[in-house]
Amino acid sequence: MIVLTMVQLVFRVMRVTLGEWLGDVWLGFKNPHISAIISMGLTMLLVLSGTWIYLWQLFGASNQLMAALSLLIVSLWLKSVGRSPRFAFWPMLFMYITTMAAIIVTAYNLYASILSNQQIASQTINMLGAVAMIVVAVLLFVAALVIAYDAWHAWGRLKGPAQVRPMAAD
C-alpha cells in the first residue's frame, strides 16, 4: 500500500510542478492529463536508467540535512538566549558531517559504477540518469555548504553572553 501511495504522491507533485514551472511555455503542461502522462514517462525513464535507488539515497540525505538544519536553528537559538547549545550542537555537527560524507560517497558511487563503466555508460538512458543524480548530489552539497557558511556567520554574531531583556509592561 505504501508503494501505491508514494507513486501517487510523486505523480501528483510532478504534475503540479510541471504546470507551475512550464505552464507558461506550453499550455499543455497545465492540463492534468497531459502533465500526468509526461510525469509517468519521466518516472519510467528514471526507473529504466537504474539510478532511482540513488535518488532514494539522496532523498534520505536531504532529509538528514533538514534534521541537521533543525538542530542548527535550536543551537543558535540556545546560544542567543544565553543557554548552553551543546546538547543540540554536537548531534547537529555529527549529522551534518556524516550526511555530507554520504552525499560525496553516493556521487562517487554513481561515477564509479555507471559513468566510468564503458558497458553501462554507452547506454544513453543510464548515463543521463547518473548525470542527473550527480547534479542532484552536487546541488545538495552546495546548499548544505551555503547553510554552514550562513550559520558560521550567525554563530559569530552571537559571541559573548546574551543580553536578556525584561519584558515590557503594558
For residue 30 the three cell numbers come to 497545465
Percentage of the chain beyond pLDDT 70 is 92
Integer angstrom CA distances of residue 132 from 69, 85, 111, 115: 25, 38, 11, 12
Count the neighbouring beta carbons within 10 Å of the beta carbon of residue 140. 20
Question: What is the tens place of the pLDDT at every residue in 109-123?
Answer: 988 888 888 887 678
Contact 88, 71 (CB under 8 A): yes
Contact 45, 125 (CB under 8 A): yes
C-alpha–C-alpha distance, residues 14 and 2, integer Å: 18
- pLDDT (average), residues 8-15: 85
Contact 41, 14 (CB under 8 A): no
pLDDT of residue 89: 96
Question: What is the tens place of the pLDDT at every residue in 49-95?
Answer: 777 888 888 989 999 999 999 999 999 999 999 899 999 999 999 99
Pick the residue with more confidence: 119 or 20? 20
For residue 78 the three cell numbers come to 540556545
C-alpha–C-alpha distance, residues 72 and 152, integer Å: 10
For residue 121 the three cell numbers come to 555508460
Q: What is the pTM of this model?
A: 0.73
Question: What is the tens place of the pLDDT at every residue in 127-166?
Answer: 888 888 999 999 999 999 999 999 999 999 987 555 555 6
